[in-house]
Structure formats: structure tokens, C-alpha cells
Structure 1
Amino acid sequence: MKSAHVGLWLHVLSTTAVLVSAFDPFTTTVLVGVGAALSRSIYNYLHENCDHKWIAFNATGLEASLQTKLFGQHIASHIILKAVSGFMSNDNPKKPLVLSLHGWTGTGKNYVSSLIAESIYKEGMDSKFVHVFTSELHFPHASQMDTYKTQLQQWIKGNVSSCAQSMFIFDEMDKMHPGLIDSIKPYLDYYDKVDGVSYRKAIFIFLSNAGGESIIQTALDFWNAGRDRDEMELKDLETSLSLSVFNNKRSGLWHTSLIDKNLVDFFVPFLPLEYRHVLQCAKAAMEARGLKPDPAVADKVARDLVYFPKSERVFSVKGCKTIESKLDFYT
């Protein structure tokens, strides 16, 4: 369909070019203007732009993805759907949306970020309006903190100036140098504009393993008490999680003003995954490869992982992180 449309436009442009030479200067100017407009239309059709054709929130799609693709995270799914849907339906938000996702590796933090991006941007994570920062890659040296702060401010300001509905994902916040993230505090606050730029429609997502211990302890407490994990609510985790993150000296959010000034809208806990969730991950991975889910293979993959506590083998140490490599071995 796309090639057909492009071919039609190119035919119209070539026809316009032929006609231009046959008319008087006034008509020629009009026709050249039409040709230029058509050229812009073709460019905009082929190249991503900051408009509703490329950025349009799909609440139904996000809900479906969270229900069918994210396993064992009923709290995170509920918070993210409500938070993102509410924000995207607000034409005049008072501040950017700031989500801080916490939990052990392999529990779905990065994956959920991609689901959010896919629900907003036509190009998903490949969108030029989605920006990912990885602490150890982009900010590796403590001695260059001042430089990083300036670069980060300029990068965010420049991209939001180009597209107000930009998304910024900060991975490995637990490895970020404390104090760096505070350099963008003004962009996350309740300001109409900062140096002439409004950041109110932007989305900031922080991903961190920090706070994972407190989440796991709560999950273990529920399990030891014989209570189902689905009984857990945000109120059971939120206070201990935010305190744990704020007081963790190894975290990029240690004593940050973002927490102190209540600029993080939601601390989203990701629970440790059980065998049944790993089984779901394995089956989903097989489907993603175009394979028919094999329960026997999924069981082998799930059982091959390391679980804790050691005697009871309740929670997967690495969540679903190594599923893909395990499938390579068993299929």
C-alpha cells in the first residue's frame, strides 16, 4: 500500500513538473508551490514526524499487551495502565509523567518500557522520539559528572524542543552516579516552561534494581504467611520501596530531590517471578519465534533456572532474563 501511494505521488510530481513549463510565471509559481507541498507530503509520509500520524496513544493496545505479555506483575500492570492512560488523555498536564520502575533483573522493567513506547509511537522503541540512556554506557566516569550534567540537560532540552511528546528512559539507575539525575529536576517540576521550553508532555521512565530487596522481602512475607501474591497491593510496597531507593547509596536516586520534592509520580514495584511465570515466558518466547509452544520444552527451560529460597525454590533468581538462551539449547 505504501509503495502504491508513493508511486502515485511521484507520478503527480512528474506531471506537475511538465505542466510548469507550459504556464505563465504566476501560474508557474502556484504549480511549483503545489509541487513543493506534495514533496513535503511524501517526506512526511516516509519519515517520522512529531504529529498524530506518528504519535497516537492506543490505550486498548497497551491494556491488551500488559494482560497477555507481562507475566506475574498485577501491581505494575495496573499502575502503568492507569498512569499512562491518564497522562496521555490529558491535553494540559501540569508536569511530565515520571515513573520509577523497580525490581530484580528479568522481571519485566525494560519490557514494559517497550510496551509503553509501542502504545504511543508508531515506530515503538525505534522512534526517534524515544531516547534511552544506560548509566554505564553514557555516564561511566565519576570524574566527568559536570560534563554529563550539561550534556544531559542540552540533550533533553533539544529533543523536547523538537517534539514535546518525547520519551526518555534511564536504564541502570542503580549504577548511575548519585546527583546526576538531579541536574534535570527543573524539567520534571511543575513549571509552565523552563528557558522557553515546556516539558509537560514528556515522559521520563527510570529503571532500577534498587529497592528489589524490599520488594522480595514483602513477597516472601506473603508466601510464608500462605497468602497469594495477587493479594499484594501497592500500599504494601510503596512506602518501603521509596525509602529503600532514597537511602540506597549505590542508587542514582540516592537522596535525590526528585523523591524529596515528590516529582516521581509512581514507584512501580516488579515482583519476583515464580516457576509458573517463567513457564509463561518460555511459551511466549516460542510463539515469538513462530514455534508452537511445547509444554515439555517450556518445563525444561523453567526447571533449569535457579530459584530461591534454595530449599523451597519459590522465586527465579534471574526472572525470565535467560529464557532466550535456554530455548536455544532445548529447541
Structure 2
Amino acid sequence: MKYKKLYIILLHFTLVHFVVAELFSAISAGIAAAAVGLYYTGKCSLSECCHEKHIPGDFNKLKRLLEEKLYGQHIAKSILVNAIKHHWEGHHVQKPLTLSLHGLPGTGKNYVAKFIQESLYSLGTDSHFVHQFMGRIHFPLADQVPQYQRELYGWIKGSKAITDAYLKFWRNGVRREDIKLKDFENLITQGAFNEEGGFYRSDNIKSNLIDHYIPFLPMELEHVRKCIVEEFRIRNVTATERQIGAVLEYVQWGPSPENVFSNTGCKRLSQKVAVIAAAGDEY
């Protein structure tokens, strides 16, 4: 089997979360195919290996998950499936596919990484072909915190730039669905390259090693409502307007004076829904 790799970088205000997923494609084995088949039949019945059974690459599932569970992110939806599928099926891949996901917390970046894992690998997040690096776990040294902060600073600027740019569109009456990747990609790239810290003057950017910079737009009321309804649905509860309103009371909005975006997207809504769902008719 020939290795292919996919790197996903999730970037927001509070955490840098790297997901490295190794993608595989079959190559012709000629006469040796029969012997290889016997080897895999025995080995793969006992453990995960480079085989269609364990790496199905179900892009229909990925598309469905994005359509059903990713709210307000039409730009990300339009890029992700096609970019990964093209890389997966490519016969002349020269480098890993690297996706850089930018946006505020709670806008769906971690969900996207999870959906990709669940769609490409039978074992999903438990696959040993998936490696995750999380800031608080893999960069725990207290004396290195200033360095970590400097490295994050440039990426934080990128997330704020997305919000500022979208707010200008909103003020001018531009429909969310009419905004395109081209409206953000150069802004994100230049921010990552020029800001101190992060990928400041980085060869990764100079050499075009990042294939796609994908903006995740801030969440508006309609998107937060969908997140709340889904959290109730997971708990087998059909949410009432009163229950939805009770959860919305915990959401903080900005920037002032418009206050149209959730400061934390859909983060932490699950805990609030759990309490209100358990209370039942009290709400």
C-alpha cells in the first residue's frame, strides 16, 4: 500500500489542535496480489491495517455529516469533501494534503475533524492511523508558556480578522451564502505570514505547503438555535421554544453594538442543554 497523508490544523482563540490522518491508496501488485491477499486476510482479521475494510473512504458519509451537522459553514462544506476526495483518489500525489481551518471557538472545526475521521476510517477516532495533538496535553511545560503564546498569536489574529471581515459584509447587507472563499483566503494567509509568532515569515507559507486556508464564519442566532435543537435531539427531547430560550440566555453575543455573533459559537451549549433537559417541565 502507498501512504498518503492529510494534515488538518484547527486554529482558534484558545487551542491549537492538530489532527494527522494517514490516507492510503491501493497500488497494483501484479502477480503478487494473491500472496498479499492471503497475508492481509489473516492479519486484518485480527487488527487494523491498510485495507478497504478498515479504511473505506466513505465520502458520501462525510458529505451527509457535513450537510446535517455543520451549521452556517457553506464555504467549508464546498471545499472539504472535494479537496480530500481529490487527494484520496489522486495518482500523482507529491505531498500530504494540508488543510488549515480558521475561526472562533465553537464554529465547527473540531466537529469537522471528527467527521473526517469517522468517514475515512472504520474505527473513526480510535483508528491508529489518526494522531491528534492538543495544546494542553502535548505542550504542557509551564516555563514554555510565553513561547506557546507567541506561536499562537498570529493565528488568533487570523480568527479575529475573519469576524471583522464578515461583520463588514453583514453591515452592507451581503447574504452569508453569497460570501466566497476568495473573500477570506488572502486575508488569512497574509495574517498568518506577517504577524509575529505563529507562522511568522514561515517557509510553510512561503513554499505553499498549506493547500487550503478554510475560514469558519462566526455563528449567528439561527445557527446557535440549530445547535441547541440538535443537543436536545441527542437526548431524545423535542425542544420547546421555552427550553431553547432558556439555553440562549447563557449565550454571550458580540461585537458591540450589533451583538449578532455568539462569542463562543456552539461551545458549552451541551452542558446547558443537559441541565434543562433533565429539569423537564420546570422549564
TM-score (structure 1 length as normaliser): 0.66
Q: Name 2:233's counterpart in structure 1.
A: 287
Write out per-residue CA displacement over residues 10-35 of structure 1, whole angstroms, 9 at most, x where no aligned residue.
xxxxxxxxxxxxxxxxxxxxxxxxxx
Q: Name 1:224's counterpart in structure 2.
A: 171
Which amino acid letter does the alignment assign opposite residue 324 of structure 1? S
Structure 1 contact 274–315 (Cα < 8 Å) conserved: yes
Determine whether 1:241 maps to 2:241: no
TM-score (structure 2 length as normaliser): 0.76
Superposition deviation, residue 281 in structure 1? 0.6
Report SS of the residue matched to 1:254.
Answer: coil
Distance in 2 between residues matched to 1:111 and 1:235, nearest whole Å: 23
Write out per-residue CA displacement over residues 63-118 of structure 1, whole angstroms, 9 at most, x where no aligned residue.
11111100010001111122112111213312111000001111111110111111
Which amino acid letter does the alignment assign opposite residue 73 of structure 2? Q
CA 1:303–1:313: 2 relative to 1, 3 Å = farther
Distance in 2 between residues matched to 1:175 and 1:112, nearest whole Å: 24
Write out per-residue CA displacement over residues 147-203 of structure 1, whole angstroms, 9 at most, x where no aligned residue.
xxxxxxxxxxxxxxxxxxxxxxxxxxx947649xxxxxxxxxxxxxxxxxxxxxxxx
Equivalent residue runs for 1:101-180 within 5 Å = 101-141=101-141, 175=148, 178=151
Pick one of 258, 263, 270 that aligns with 2:204: 258
CA 1:79–1:274: 2 relative to 1, 3 Å = same
Structure 1 contact 283–295 (Cα < 8 Å) conserved: no
Pick one of 312, 317, 322 that aligns with 2:263: 317
Report SS of the residue matched to 1:297.
Answer: helix
CA 1:215–1:175: 2 relative to 1, 3 Å = farther
Superposition deviation, residue 265 in structure 1? 0.3
Determine whether 1:56 maps to 2:56: yes
Q: Name 2:245's counterpart in structure 1.
A: 299
Q: Which runs of 5+ in 1 are unaligned?
A: 1-36, 145-173, 180-207
Write out per-residue CA displacement over residues 182-235 of structure 1, whole angstroms, 9 at most, x where no aligned residue.
xxxxxxxxxxxxxxxxxxxxxxxxxx6451111001110011111111111011
Q: Name 2:272's counterpart in structure 1.
A: 326
Distance in 2 between residues matched to 1:122 and 1:209, nearest whole Å: 34
Superposition deviation, residue 322 in structure 1? 1.2
Structure 1 contact 135–176 (Cα < 8 Å) conserved: no
Determine whether 1:273 maps to 2:224: no
Superposition deviation, residue 290 in structure 1? 3.0
Distance in 2 between residues matched to 1:269 and 1:130, nearest whole Å: 23
CA 1:131–1:229: 2 relative to 1, 3 Å = same
The answer to which of 306-315 and 41-50 deviates more is: 41-50
Distance in 2 between residues matched to 1:46 and 1:177, nearest whole Å: 45
Distance in 1 between residues matched to 2:218 and 2:136, nearest whole Å: 24
The answer to which of 82-91 and 67-76 deviates more is: 82-91
Which amino acid letter does the alignment assign opposite residue 235 of structure 1? K
Structure 2 contact 158–191 (Cα < 8 Å) conserved: yes
Distance in 1 between residues matched to 2:157 and 2:148, nearest whole Å: 9
Distance in 2 between residues matched to 1:70 and 1:124, nearest whole Å: 18
Q: Name 2:99's counterpart in structure 1.
A: 99
Structure 1 contact 139–176 (Cα < 8 Å) conserved: no
Structure 2 contact 150–196 (Cα < 8 Å) conserved: no
Superposition deviation, residue 288 in structure 1? 2.1
Structure with bigger strand share is 2
Q: Which has the larger radius of gyration?
A: 1
Q: Which runs of 5+ in 2 are unaligned?
A: 1-37, 278-283
Determine whether 1:67 maps to 2:63: no
Report SS of the residue matched to 2:44.
Answer: helix
Distance in 2 between residues matched to 1:311 and 1:177, nearest whole Å: 30
CA RMSD of aligned residues (A): 2.5
Q: Percent identity?
A: 35
Q: Name 1:7's counterpart in structure 2.
A: none
Distance in 2 between residues matched to 1:246 and 1:118, nearest whole Å: 32
Distance in 2 between residues matched to 1:42 and 1:250, nearest whole Å: 49
